[in-house]
């Protein structure tokens, strides 16, 4: 950003001359354009004086970035300044592609472990396994590096090589590998397959370039494998969205030609648009369920909203995130970009599902959710009532499942991950992901694996009790209730071993998913999880009951 504000000063001066020539400066101070020019002039003069006379040297780039960040605080979190060095992140959001080796890592203290391998990637072909320890990159020890730095070193231009030293977690043997980076394409469809032999299932993780084509290919392959397919589940849970055009393309697979999917409206009226399905659908009759949760956002909500408003299918799960804002990138000097919210989008019924109102802030500058009392009702094609201002509400609500405290602790401490690695090396072959189950002996082995390991934790009740004790001591009430407090504390004290047995089913499921990731990578993890997925099971029930399916659409 060197000299950027020297240039801006010239631009500002030229703008003021042009404005003066047009007579705009004769307008009163309430005129918006005069206010912009006036305050830009003050800003430029302020920085010039500060830079000239402040006792210490100020970094122009640092100071200006602070100014940009302060301006962005007045906008929504999706409006952002993207410097040239971060353009790859912007590209990845649009394309799902980046230069790298195709692996995810986790750094805990001085240890960095490979956690996931992308199928077909350079790391996969080189025989690297989840659980392998990463010791060095191009001769630089990973010990002492933070996770962000290691991730940055793993990425790079396709065609460049990377020397790494890995260690087998079981034998402790070191091995050196030369990995050539490639363009890694994170596929928008992470899994597709059949559930209960007659229901198709497609898991989408993002809306990047060619997402519509990828979903269509997955759907057509399922139809080819099972011509008698009785329904399809499109899983958009945890999908943060992406490209609006791809949301239209995905919708068009199931929705007839020339149907309105979404419209956008913003300050620049020439940019307002209606997006309709451009071609004939692949299948507009097969029963369809779309799964959503609190992390389904943006393009995911466009698809779910269109399916719901046009009564094309049933939405099942939890209310979606509620992001009804559209971003556009604008070029800035020195190859930087401004990612700016330029419009709101509206589903076919005319509702905007934006949940947080960023245009109104309280005295502290905080924003809040649109209150239920302000949410307006709209109607679907069949006359069903739907509301704006709070995401997509499912037609069939399924309560989310939350993990127990002991399970969360086992995941955080990497004990489930480490045991899966141990299991993999002890069992060269297992059943396929759909039929694999841990035996009672396997679970007992896991309990022995935990012997001597610290997986203690505090329940929410124990934390509340500690807070009460602290407050009672400060207010000098503790002595009067100490006996009762200690008795209650004793009753609430949990037994770690009993917690493991109490939550055995949940822990076994987490173990089985992680173990399947060792043998079949991400697809194995997803396939294993389908058997006990509440939302998927509910979707299957609805698709197997035509009367109920049609009742939800009435």
Average pLDDT, the chain: 91
Across the range 313-334, mean pLDDT stands at 96
Backbone angles phi, psi at 212, to 5 degrees: -60, -45
**Which two three-digit tokens encode residue 378?**
């709209």
CB 277 within 8 A of CB 255: yes
CB 406 within 8 A of CB 151: no
What integer pLDDT is reported at residue 8 of this predicted model? 43
Cα–Cα distance for residue pair 113/409, rounded to 1 Å: 18
| 476 to 130, 151, 472, 473: CA distances (angstroms) | 54, 52, 6, 5
Cα–Cα distance for residue pair 545/25, rounded to 1 Å: 70
Q: Is 510's pLDDT higher than 60?
A: yes
What integer pLDDT is reported at residue 215 of this predicted model? 98
Domains of the chain in start order, with CATH, are: 32-74 (no CATH), 97-185 (2.30.42.10), 189-358+374-399 (3.90.226.10), 405-459+494-538 (no CATH)
Cα–Cα distance for residue pair 46/38, rounded to 1 Å: 12
Across the range 523-527, mean pLDDT stands at 96
Q: Which of 29-38, 80-89, 144-153 has the lowest mean pLDDT?
A: 29-38
Angle between helices 415-426 and 405-412 (to 10 degrees): 70
Q: For residue 256, what are the contacts with CB-CB under 8 A and spacing of at least 6?
A: 277, 280, 281, 284
Count of CA atoms in the C-beta half-sphere (13 A) of 534: 12
* Confidence band, pLDDT 50/70/90 cuts, at residue 493: low
For tokens 């592609």, what's the residue?
97
Across 356-504, the runs of DSSP E, i.e. the strands, are 356-357, 368-369, 377-379, 385-387, 396-397
Q: What is the dihedral of CA 99, 102, 106, 109, to 10 degrees?
A: -60
**Which two three-digit tokens encode residue 59?**
């970094």
Indicate which residues carry an active-site annotation: 298, 309, 323
Q: Is 3's pLDDT higher than 50?
A: no
Q: Which of 428-437, 473-482, 517-526 has the lowest mean pLDDT?
A: 473-482
* Confidence band, pLDDT 50/70/90 cuts, at residue 365: confident
Q: What is the pLDDT of residues 426-451, one digit of tens each?
A: 999 999 999 999 999 999 999 999 99
What integer pLDDT is reported at residue 5 of this predicted model? 39
Cα–Cα distance for residue pair 272/201, rounded to 1 Å: 35
More confident position, 286 or 486? 286
Backbone angles phi, psi at 317, to 5 degrees: 130, -130
What integer pLDDT is reported at residue 494 of this predicted model? 65
More confident position, 243 or 32? 243
Cα end-to-end distance, the chain, whole Å: 58
Across the range 58-85, mean pLDDT stands at 93
For the four alpha carbons of 389, 392, 397 and 402, in that order, the dihedral sign comes to negative
* Confidence band, pLDDT 50/70/90 cuts, at residue 125: very high
Cα–Cα distance for residue pair 455/450, rounded to 1 Å: 8
Q: Report the DSSP pairing between strands 396-397 and 314-317.
A: parallel
Q: What is the pLDDT of residues 182-229, one digit of tens each?
A: 999 999 999 999 998 999 999 999 999 999 999 999 999 999 999 999
CA angle 242, 247, 253 (to 5 degrees): 145
What integer pLDDT is reported at residue 59 of this predicted model? 94
Q: For residue 165, what are the contacts with CB-CB under 8 A and spacing of at least 6?
A: 134, 135, 136, 174, 175, 176, 177
Cα–Cα distance for residue pair 542/227, rounded to 1 Å: 20
Please state, as a whole number, how many other Cβ atoms lie within 10 Å of the Cβ of residue 22.
10
* Confidence band, pLDDT 50/70/90 cuts, at residue 383: very high
Alpha helix segments (H runs only) across 108-206: 122-125, 147-154
What integer pLDDT is reported at residue 157 of this predicted model? 93
Q: What is the pLDDT of residues 24-54, one digit of tens each?
A: 444 455 688 888 899 999 999 999 999 999 9
Residue 6, burial from CB neighbour count under 10 angstroms (0-12, 13-18, 19+)? exposed
Q: Is the pTM of this model over 0.85?
A: yes
For tokens 């069939």, what's the residue?
396
Q: For residue 523, what are the contacts with CB-CB under 8 A and spacing of at least 6?
A: 119, 190, 191, 433
| 16 to 40, 323, 412: CA distances (angstroms) | 10, 38, 58
CB 508 within 8 A of CB 438: yes
Q: For residue 110, what are the contacts with CB-CB under 8 A and spacing of at least 6?
A: 143, 144
Residue 151, burial from CB neighbour count under 10 angstroms (0-12, 13-18, 19+)? middle
Cα–Cα distance for residue pair 270/280, rounded to 1 Å: 28
Across the range 320-346, mean pLDDT stands at 96
Q: Which of 7-21, 97-111, 218-232, 356-370 has the lowest mean pLDDT?
A: 7-21
* Confidence band, pLDDT 50/70/90 cuts, at residue 387: very high
Cα–Cα distance for residue pair 205/189, rounded to 1 Å: 6
Q: Count of residues for the chain?
A: 554
Q: For residue 54, what are the contacts with CB-CB under 8 A and spacing of at least 6?
A: none
- Nearest partner of 447 among 416, 426, 425, 417, judged by Cα: 416
**Which two three-digit tokens encode residue 29?**
């101070």
């Amino acid at each position: 950003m060197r000299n950027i504000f020297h240039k801006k000063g010239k631009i500002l001066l030229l703008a003021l001359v042009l404005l003066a020539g047009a007579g705009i400066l004769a307008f009163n101070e309430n005129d918006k354009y005069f206010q912009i020019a006036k305050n830009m002039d003050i800003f430029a003069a302020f920085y010039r004086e500060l830079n000239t006379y402040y006792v210490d040297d100020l970094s122009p780039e640092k100071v200006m970035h602070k100014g940009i960040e302060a301006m962005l605080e007045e906008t929504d979190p999706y409006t952002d300044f993207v410097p040239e060095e971060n353009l790859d992140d912007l590209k990845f959001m649009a394309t799902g592609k980046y230069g790298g080796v195709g692996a995810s890592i986790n750094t805990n203290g001085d240890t960095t472990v490979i956690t996931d391998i992308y199928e077909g990637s350079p790391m996969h072909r080189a025989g690297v396994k989840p659980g392998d320890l990463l010791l060095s990159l191009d001769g630089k020890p990973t010990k002492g590096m933070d996770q962000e730095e290691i991730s940055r070193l793993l990425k790079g231009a396709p065609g460049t090589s990377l020397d790494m030293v890995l260690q087998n977690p079981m034998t402790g043997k070191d091995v050196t590998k030369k990995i050539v980076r490639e363009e890694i394409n994170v596929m928008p469809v992470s899994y597709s397959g059949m559930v209960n032999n007659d229901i198709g299932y497609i898991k989408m993780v993002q809306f990047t370039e060619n997402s519509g084509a990828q979903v269509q290919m997955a759907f057509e392959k399922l139809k080819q494998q099972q011509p008698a397919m009785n329904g399809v589940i499109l899983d958009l849970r945890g999908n943060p969205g992406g490209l609006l055009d791809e949301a239209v393309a995905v919708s068009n697979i199931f929705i007839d030609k020339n149907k309105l999917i979404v419209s956008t409206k913003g300050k620049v009226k020439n940019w307002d648009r209606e997006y309709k399905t451009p071609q004939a659908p692949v299948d507009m009759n097969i029963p369809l369920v779309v799964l959503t949760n609190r992390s389904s956002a943006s393009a995911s909500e466009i698809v779910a909203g269109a399916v719901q408003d046009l009564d094309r299918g049933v939405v099942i799960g939890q209310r979606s995130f509620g992001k009804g804002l559209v971003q556009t990138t604008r070029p800035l000097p020195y190859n930087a970009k401004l990612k700016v919210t330029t419009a709101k989008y509206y589903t076919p019924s005319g509702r905007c599902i934006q949940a947080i109102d960023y245009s109104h802030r309280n005295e502290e500058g905080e924003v809040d959710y649109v209150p239920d009392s302000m949410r307006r009702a709209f109607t679907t094609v069949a006359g069903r009532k739907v509301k704006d201002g709070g995401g997509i509400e499912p037609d069939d609500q399924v309560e989310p499942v939350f993990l127990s405290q002991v399970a969360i602790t086992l995941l955080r401490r990497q004990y489930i991950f480490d045991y899966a690695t141990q299991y993999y090396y002890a069992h060269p072959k297992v059943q396929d992901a759909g039929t694999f189950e841990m035996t009672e002996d396997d679970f007992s082995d896991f309990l022995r694996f935990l012997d001597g390991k610290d997986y203690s934790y505090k329940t929410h009740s124990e934390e509340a009790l500690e807070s009460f004790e602290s407050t009672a001591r400060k207010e000098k009430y503790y002595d009067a209730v100490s006996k009762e407090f200690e008795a209650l504390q004793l009753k609430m004290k949990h037994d770690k071993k009993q917690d493991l047995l109490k939550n055995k089913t949940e822990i076994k499921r987490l173990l089985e998913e992680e173990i399947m990731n060792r043998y079949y990578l991400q697809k194995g993890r997803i396939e294993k999880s389908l058997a006990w997925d509440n939302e998927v099971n509910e979707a299957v029930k609805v698709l197997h009951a035509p009367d109920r399916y049609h009742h939800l659409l009435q």
